[in-house]
Protein backbone atom coordinates (compact mmCIF):
# COMPACT_ATOMS: atom_id res chain seq x y z
CA UNK A 1 0.00 0.00 0.00
CA UNK A 2 1.58 3.33 -1.07
CA UNK A 3 2.10 5.82 1.75
CA UNK A 4 1.24 9.40 0.76
CA UNK A 5 1.70 12.35 3.16
CA UNK A 6 -0.13 15.47 1.94
CA UNK A 7 1.31 18.71 3.38
CA UNK A 8 -1.06 21.61 2.86
CA UNK A 9 -2.41 24.88 4.23
CA UNK A 10 -5.88 24.11 2.88
CA UNK A 11 -8.78 23.84 5.29
CA UNK A 12 -9.55 20.20 6.14
CA UNK A 13 -12.88 20.27 4.31
CA UNK A 14 -11.17 21.65 1.19
CA UNK A 15 -8.34 19.12 1.34
CA UNK A 16 -11.03 16.43 1.51
CA UNK A 17 -12.35 17.58 -1.87
CA UNK A 18 -8.98 16.46 -3.27
CA UNK A 19 -8.34 13.32 -1.25
CA UNK A 20 -11.77 11.85 -2.02
CA UNK A 21 -10.23 10.75 -5.32
CA UNK A 22 -7.52 8.68 -3.64
CA UNK A 23 -7.65 4.97 -4.52
CA UNK A 24 -8.76 2.74 -1.67
CA UNK A 25 -5.34 1.10 -1.52
CA UNK A 26 -3.44 4.40 -1.09
CA UNK A 27 -2.73 5.50 2.49
CA UNK A 28 -3.15 9.28 2.20
CA UNK A 29 -2.76 11.37 5.35
CA UNK A 30 -3.20 15.15 5.45
CA UNK A 31 -0.82 17.23 7.55
CA UNK A 32 -0.60 21.01 8.03
CA UNK A 33 2.11 22.59 5.90
CA UNK A 34 3.28 24.26 9.12
CA UNK A 35 4.40 20.94 10.66
CA UNK A 36 8.00 21.45 11.89
CA UNK A 37 10.73 20.10 9.66
CA UNK A 38 11.86 17.55 12.24
CA UNK A 39 8.40 15.99 12.17
CA UNK A 40 8.25 16.18 8.39
CA UNK A 41 11.56 14.34 8.16
CA UNK A 42 10.04 11.45 10.10
CA UNK A 43 6.92 11.47 7.96
CA UNK A 44 8.70 11.44 4.58
CA UNK A 45 11.31 8.79 5.36
CA UNK A 46 9.05 5.89 4.43
CA UNK A 47 6.74 7.75 2.05
CA UNK A 48 6.19 6.54 -1.50
CA UNK A 49 4.71 9.84 -2.74
CA UNK A 50 4.34 13.39 -1.46
CA UNK A 51 1.53 15.82 -2.27
CA UNK A 52 2.22 19.51 -1.62
CA UNK A 53 0.15 22.68 -1.51
CA UNK A 54 1.95 25.06 -1.36
CA UNK A 55 4.80 23.50 -3.28
CA UNK A 56 7.74 23.82 -0.93
CA UNK A 57 9.94 21.54 1.18
CA UNK A 58 13.22 22.43 2.84
CA UNK A 59 16.47 20.76 1.88
CA UNK A 60 16.67 18.52 4.99
CA UNK A 61 13.16 17.22 4.34
CA UNK A 62 13.87 16.55 0.67
CA UNK A 63 17.06 14.70 1.55
CA UNK A 64 15.11 12.50 3.96
CA UNK A 65 12.59 11.47 1.28
CA UNK A 66 14.73 8.58 0.08
CA UNK A 67 11.89 6.34 -1.12
CA UNK A 68 9.69 8.99 -2.73
CA UNK A 69 8.87 8.18 -6.34
CA UNK A 70 7.11 11.47 -7.17
CA UNK A 71 6.46 14.83 -5.55
CA UNK A 72 3.04 15.84 -6.82
CA UNK A 73 2.14 19.53 -6.60
CA UNK A 74 -1.46 20.66 -6.34
CA UNK A 75 -0.50 23.95 -7.98
CA UNK A 76 0.66 24.67 -11.51
CA UNK A 77 3.51 26.85 -10.23
CA UNK A 78 6.71 25.17 -9.13
CA UNK A 79 8.97 28.17 -8.57
CA UNK A 80 9.34 27.49 -4.84
CA UNK A 81 10.58 23.92 -5.32
CA UNK A 82 14.32 23.27 -5.33
CA UNK A 83 14.26 21.45 -8.66
CA UNK A 84 18.04 21.29 -8.84
CA UNK A 85 18.16 19.34 -5.58
CA UNK A 86 15.19 17.15 -6.57
CA UNK A 87 16.98 16.29 -9.80
CA UNK A 88 20.16 15.45 -7.93
CA UNK A 89 18.18 13.24 -5.54
CA UNK A 90 16.35 11.56 -8.41
CA UNK A 91 12.89 12.64 -7.23
CA UNK A 92 10.58 13.68 -10.10
CA UNK A 93 8.27 16.65 -9.53
CA UNK A 94 4.95 17.11 -11.33
CA UNK A 95 2.59 20.08 -11.32
CA UNK A 96 -1.18 19.89 -11.64
CA UNK A 97 -1.16 19.35 -15.39
CA UNK A 98 -3.11 22.52 -16.12
CA UNK A 99 -6.17 21.39 -14.19
CA UNK A 100 -6.72 24.96 -12.97
CA UNK A 101 -6.49 26.40 -16.48
CA UNK A 102 -10.24 26.87 -16.74
CA UNK A 103 -10.36 28.79 -13.46
CA UNK A 104 -7.47 31.11 -14.37
CA UNK A 105 -8.92 31.70 -17.82
CA UNK A 106 -12.32 32.80 -16.55
CA UNK A 107 -10.70 34.99 -13.90
CA UNK A 108 -8.52 36.66 -16.54
CA UNK A 109 -11.51 37.51 -18.70
CA UNK A 110 -13.45 38.68 -15.63
CA UNK A 111 -10.64 41.09 -14.71
CA UNK A 112 -10.57 42.54 -18.22
CA UNK A 113 -14.33 43.04 -18.17
CA UNK A 114 -14.28 44.49 -14.65
CA UNK A 115 -11.66 47.04 -15.70
CA UNK A 116 -13.21 47.86 -19.06
CA UNK A 117 -16.70 48.34 -17.55
CA UNK A 118 -15.40 50.05 -14.36
CA UNK A 119 -17.38 47.66 -12.19
CA UNK A 120 -15.38 48.18 -8.99
CA UNK A 121 -15.83 51.97 -9.05
CA UNK A 122 -19.48 51.72 -10.07
CA UNK A 123 -20.26 49.32 -7.24
CA UNK A 124 -18.61 51.67 -4.72
CA UNK A 125 -20.55 54.64 -6.08
CA UNK A 126 -23.93 52.91 -5.95
CA UNK A 127 -23.32 51.75 -2.36
CA UNK A 128 -22.42 55.34 -1.41
CA UNK A 129 -25.58 56.74 -2.97
CA UNK A 130 -23.79 58.15 -6.01
CA UNK A 131 -25.94 57.05 -8.94
CA UNK A 132 -24.67 57.32 -12.50
CA UNK A 133 -21.73 59.60 -11.66
CA UNK A 134 -19.41 57.69 -14.02
CA UNK A 135 -20.00 58.53 -17.66
CA UNK A 136 -20.03 55.00 -19.05
CA UNK A 137 -20.47 56.34 -22.56
CA UNK A 138 -17.12 58.07 -22.33
CA UNK A 139 -15.04 55.84 -20.06
CA UNK A 140 -16.05 52.19 -20.55
CA UNK A 141 -15.12 49.83 -23.37
CA UNK A 142 -15.95 46.59 -25.16
CA UNK A 143 -13.55 43.73 -25.87
CA UNK A 144 -14.90 43.38 -29.41
CA UNK A 145 -12.41 44.76 -31.92
CA UNK A 146 -9.61 45.19 -29.39
CA UNK A 147 -6.18 43.63 -29.91
CA UNK A 148 -5.30 41.23 -27.12
CA UNK A 149 -1.65 40.24 -26.65
CA UNK A 150 -1.19 36.89 -24.92
CA UNK A 151 2.25 36.23 -23.45
CA UNK A 152 2.49 32.45 -23.17
CA UNK A 153 0.22 30.31 -25.35
CA UNK A 154 0.13 27.21 -23.16
CA UNK A 155 -3.03 25.64 -21.80
CA UNK A 156 -4.21 28.81 -20.07
CA UNK A 157 -3.15 31.12 -22.89
CA UNK A 158 -5.01 28.98 -25.42
CA UNK A 159 -8.19 29.01 -23.33
CA UNK A 160 -7.92 32.78 -22.93
CA UNK A 161 -7.54 33.09 -26.70
CA UNK A 162 -10.67 31.00 -27.32
CA UNK A 163 -12.81 33.03 -24.94
CA UNK A 164 -11.57 36.43 -26.06
CA UNK A 165 -11.78 35.38 -29.70
CA UNK A 166 -15.46 34.65 -29.09
CA UNK A 167 -15.81 38.24 -27.84
CA UNK A 168 -14.49 39.46 -31.20
CA UNK A 169 -10.95 40.35 -30.16
CA UNK A 170 -7.97 40.27 -32.48
CA UNK A 171 -5.34 37.93 -31.02
CA UNK A 172 -1.56 38.23 -30.92
CA UNK A 173 0.75 35.96 -28.99
CA UNK A 174 4.36 35.60 -27.96
CA UNK A 175 5.82 32.31 -26.81
CA UNK A 176 9.44 31.18 -27.17
CA UNK A 177 8.11 27.59 -27.17
CA UNK A 178 5.00 27.97 -29.32
CA UNK A 179 2.35 25.29 -29.74
CA UNK A 180 1.84 23.47 -33.02
CA UNK A 181 1.05 25.87 -35.88
CA UNK A 182 -2.36 24.23 -36.25
CA UNK A 183 -3.32 25.36 -32.73
CA UNK A 184 -2.50 29.03 -33.39
CA UNK A 185 -4.26 28.75 -36.76
CA UNK A 186 -7.44 27.39 -35.16
CA UNK A 187 -7.32 30.16 -32.55
CA UNK A 188 -6.75 32.80 -35.24
CA UNK A 189 -3.80 34.02 -33.18
CA UNK A 190 -0.80 35.65 -34.83
CA UNK A 191 2.69 35.08 -33.46
CA UNK A 192 4.72 38.28 -33.02
CA UNK A 193 7.82 39.41 -31.17
CA UNK A 194 7.45 40.40 -27.54
CA UNK A 195 8.18 44.01 -28.47
CA UNK A 196 5.52 44.09 -31.18
CA UNK A 197 3.00 42.51 -28.86
CA UNK A 198 3.48 45.25 -26.28
CA UNK A 199 3.36 47.96 -28.98
CA UNK A 200 0.20 46.76 -30.71
CA UNK A 201 -1.99 45.38 -27.92
CA UNK A 202 -4.89 47.09 -26.20
CA UNK A 203 -4.67 44.42 -23.50
CA UNK A 204 -1.56 42.43 -22.58
CA UNK A 205 -2.25 39.32 -20.49
CA UNK A 206 0.51 37.22 -18.95
CA UNK A 207 0.42 33.40 -18.75
CA UNK A 208 3.99 32.27 -18.18
CA UNK A 209 5.84 30.39 -15.44
CA UNK A 210 8.21 32.17 -13.10
CA UNK A 211 11.81 31.17 -13.69
CA UNK A 212 15.19 32.81 -14.26
CA UNK A 213 14.24 33.73 -17.80
CA UNK A 214 10.90 35.34 -16.92
CA UNK A 215 11.82 37.16 -13.70
CA UNK A 216 11.11 40.86 -14.35
CA UNK A 217 10.45 40.02 -17.99
CA UNK A 218 7.96 42.87 -18.13
CA UNK A 219 10.34 45.71 -17.46
CA UNK A 220 10.57 49.46 -18.01
CA UNK A 221 11.56 48.96 -21.67
CA UNK A 222 8.51 46.85 -22.54
CA UNK A 223 6.11 48.97 -20.49
CA UNK A 224 7.32 52.06 -22.38
CA UNK A 225 6.15 50.44 -25.62
CA UNK A 226 2.53 50.10 -24.50
CA UNK A 227 -0.29 52.31 -25.73
CA UNK A 228 -1.48 54.97 -23.28
CA UNK A 229 -4.91 53.28 -23.48
CA UNK A 230 -3.56 49.77 -22.78
CA UNK A 231 -4.34 47.44 -19.90
CA UNK A 232 -1.84 44.98 -18.37
CA UNK A 233 -3.28 41.81 -16.77
CA UNK A 234 -1.26 39.42 -14.60
CA UNK A 235 -2.73 36.17 -13.31
CA UNK A 236 0.50 34.13 -13.34
CA UNK A 237 3.24 35.21 -10.91
CA UNK A 238 4.01 38.65 -9.49
CA UNK A 239 7.78 38.73 -10.08
CA UNK A 240 7.42 38.40 -13.86
CA UNK A 241 6.75 42.16 -13.70
CA UNK A 242 9.22 44.76 -12.51
CA UNK A 243 6.83 46.20 -9.94
CA UNK A 244 8.69 49.49 -9.47
CA UNK A 245 8.60 50.12 -13.22
CA UNK A 246 4.90 49.26 -13.38
CA UNK A 247 4.12 51.57 -10.47
CA UNK A 248 5.84 54.43 -12.26
CA UNK A 249 3.98 54.05 -15.56
CA UNK A 250 0.65 53.68 -13.77
CA UNK A 251 1.23 56.68 -11.54
CA UNK A 252 2.19 58.78 -14.56
CA UNK A 253 -0.81 57.47 -16.55
CA UNK A 254 1.44 56.22 -19.34
CA UNK A 255 -0.86 53.20 -19.61
CA UNK A 256 -4.55 53.03 -18.74
CA UNK A 257 -4.21 50.54 -15.94
CA UNK A 258 -3.45 47.10 -14.60
CA UNK A 259 -5.47 44.15 -13.29
CA UNK A 260 -3.35 42.11 -10.90
CA UNK A 261 -4.11 38.81 -9.20
CA UNK A 262 -0.49 38.41 -8.12
CA UNK A 263 2.18 40.64 -6.63
CA UNK A 264 5.89 40.50 -5.92
CA UNK A 265 5.21 40.22 -2.18
CA UNK A 266 2.08 38.40 -1.03
CA UNK A 267 0.28 39.63 0.91
CA UNK A 268 1.58 43.08 -0.01
CA UNK A 269 3.03 45.52 2.45
CA UNK A 270 0.29 48.10 3.20
CA UNK A 271 2.74 50.79 2.12
CA UNK A 272 3.07 49.32 -1.38
CA UNK A 273 2.41 52.35 -3.65
CA UNK A 274 0.46 50.20 -6.10
CA UNK A 275 -2.31 49.93 -3.51
CA UNK A 276 -2.79 53.70 -3.60
CA UNK A 277 -3.46 53.91 -7.33
CA UNK A 278 -6.99 54.17 -8.69
CA UNK A 279 -6.13 52.67 -12.08
CA UNK A 280 -5.37 49.19 -10.69
CA UNK A 281 -7.75 46.43 -9.64
CA UNK A 282 -6.58 43.57 -7.43
CA UNK A 283 -7.55 40.07 -6.41
CA UNK A 284 -5.56 38.08 -3.79
CA UNK A 285 -3.89 35.35 -5.91
CA UNK A 286 -7.18 33.52 -6.37
CA UNK A 287 -7.40 33.23 -10.15
CA UNK A 288 -6.81 29.49 -10.12
CA UNK A 289 -8.82 28.69 -7.01
CA UNK A 290 -12.53 27.94 -7.21
CA UNK A 291 -14.59 25.26 -5.51
CA UNK A 292 -14.85 23.53 -8.87
CA UNK A 293 -11.08 23.26 -9.29
CA UNK A 294 -10.47 20.67 -6.55
CA UNK A 295 -12.26 17.85 -8.36
CA UNK A 296 -10.18 18.37 -11.49
CA UNK A 297 -6.98 18.58 -9.49
CA UNK A 298 -7.81 15.60 -7.29
CA UNK A 299 -8.60 13.31 -10.20
CA UNK A 300 -5.39 14.28 -12.00
CA UNK A 301 -3.20 13.93 -8.90
CA UNK A 302 -4.27 10.42 -8.03
CA UNK A 303 -4.33 9.21 -11.62
CA UNK A 304 -0.74 10.47 -11.87
CA UNK A 305 0.33 8.70 -8.66
CA UNK A 306 -1.24 5.48 -9.91
CA UNK A 307 0.69 5.78 -13.18
CA UNK A 308 3.98 6.04 -11.32
CA UNK A 309 3.05 3.23 -8.91
CA UNK A 310 2.55 1.00 -11.97
CA UNK A 311 5.99 1.94 -13.26
CA UNK A 312 4.91 4.50 -15.87
CA UNK A 313 6.34 7.98 -16.30
CA UNK A 314 4.44 10.80 -14.57
CA UNK A 315 2.41 13.30 -16.53
CA UNK A 316 3.17 17.02 -16.17
CA UNK A 317 6.70 16.43 -14.87
CA UNK A 318 8.49 19.76 -14.58
CA UNK A 319 11.98 18.33 -15.11
Q: Are residues 126 and 230 in the same domain?
A: yes
User: Which residue among the candidates 80, 285, 299, 307 is catalytic per the annotation?
Assistant: 285
Query: Any catalytic annotation for residue 266?
Result: yes
Query: Any catalytic annotation for residue 237?
Result: yes
Number of domains in the chain: 2
Give the distance from CA 156 to its chain's centroid: 9
- Asked if 2 and 48 count as a contact pair (C-beta separation under 8 A), the reply is yes
Nearest to 151 by CA among 112, 115, 192: 192
Tell me the pairing of strands 203-206 and 231-234: parallel
Q: Are residues 192 and 73 in the same domain?
A: no
Q: Are residues 122 and 269 in the same domain?
A: yes
pLDDT in tens, 60-75: 999 999 999 999 999 9
Q: Are residues 31 and 120 in the same domain?
A: no
Per-residue DSSP letter, 273: G
User: Which residue among the candidates 237, 243, 264, 297 is catalytic per the annotation?
Assistant: 237
Q: Are residues 53 and 153 in the same domain?
A: no
Residue 319, in any domain of the structure:
no
CATH number at residue 178: 3.40.50.720
Give the residue numbers spanning the domain of 115.
101-282
Q: Are residues 8 and 122 in the same domain?
A: no
Q: Are residues 125 and 60 in the same domain?
A: no
The helix/strand/coil state of 280 is strand
Query: Any catalytic annotation for residue 252?
Result: no
pLDDT in tens, 91-144: 999 999 999 999 999 999 999 999 999 999 999 999 999 998 999 999 999 999
User: Which residue among the candidates 39, 59, 195, 266 is catalytic per the annotation?
Assistant: 266
pLDDT in tens, 139-157: 999 999 999 999 999 999 9
Amino acid sequence: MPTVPFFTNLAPETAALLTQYAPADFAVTVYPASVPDQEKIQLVQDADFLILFPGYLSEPVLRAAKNVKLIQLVSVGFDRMDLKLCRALGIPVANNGGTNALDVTEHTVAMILAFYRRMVAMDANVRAGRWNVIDSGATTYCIDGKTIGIVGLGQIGQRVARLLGAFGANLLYYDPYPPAPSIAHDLKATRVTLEDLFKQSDVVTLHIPLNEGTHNLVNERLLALMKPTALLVNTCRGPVIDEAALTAVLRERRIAGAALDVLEQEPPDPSNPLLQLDNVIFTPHTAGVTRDTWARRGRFIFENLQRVWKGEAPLAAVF
